[in-house]
Amino acid sequence: MASYTTEDDPYAQYNFEVEVDGETVAGFAEVAGITMELETVQYREGGVNDHVHQLPGQFAHANLVLQRGLTTNTAFWDWIQTVMSGTISRKNIVVKVKDGFQGQSQWGWEFANAYPTKWSGPDLASNERGMAIESIELAYERFSKMSGMPE
């Protein structure tokens, strides 16, 4: 991966740096959908009329939504095009939270076996230095905190 100065780095002004299969591909201003919910199953026991049992079911999560991004790397776009043309290609995604816009990564999450389900382009402006992305939505199997982060 090339070393950028703050002046040259197109991702420096964004709070979230995104890696696809280990390669930094974009910076984003907002990330949504990092949620986990334990579904419950209702069980009505015969003869018990004063309550319904709530049993734990499976974990569910929303799609990861990356918003207001910028990239100079075509790998993200190529991946989106491959999936949207009918070939589902799953990749591992890392979202790093940057310290103070241009600082080091302080926290992050890993999303296993993700693939894009929706892409939205931005309104275009002539001052952008790469391909702008209004939002991209990714389905994934599971997520965890980024390896190497504090316990």
Q: Is residue 3 part of a domain?
A: no
Kindly report the average pLDDT of the chain as a whole number.
Answer: 82
**91 beta partners:** 114
- Specify the number of domains making up the chain: 1
- Are 58 and 76 in contact by the 8 Å Cβ rule? The answer is no
CB crowding 96-123: b at 16 or more within 10 Å, else e:
bbbeeeeeebeebbbbeebbbeebeeee
Q: Is residue 6 part of a domain?
A: no
User: What's the pLDDT tens digit per position in 29-47?
Assistant: 899 988 888 899 999 888 8
Residues 6+ apart with CB under 8 A from 119: 80, 84, 133, 135, 136, 137
Q: Is residue 9 part of a domain?
A: no
User: What's the pLDDT tens digit per position in 74-90?
Assistant: 888 899 899 999 999 99
Q: Is residue 103 part of a domain?
A: yes
Q: Is residue 33 part of a domain?
A: yes
Structure tokens at 12: 């420096």
Q: Is residue 26 part of a domain?
A: yes
**Distance between CA atoms of 11 and 70, rounded to whole angstroms?**
7
CATH of the domain at 28: 2.30.110
Q: Is residue 7 part of a domain?
A: no
Check whether 105 has a pLDDT greater than 80.
Answer: no
Write down the pTM of the prediction: 0.74
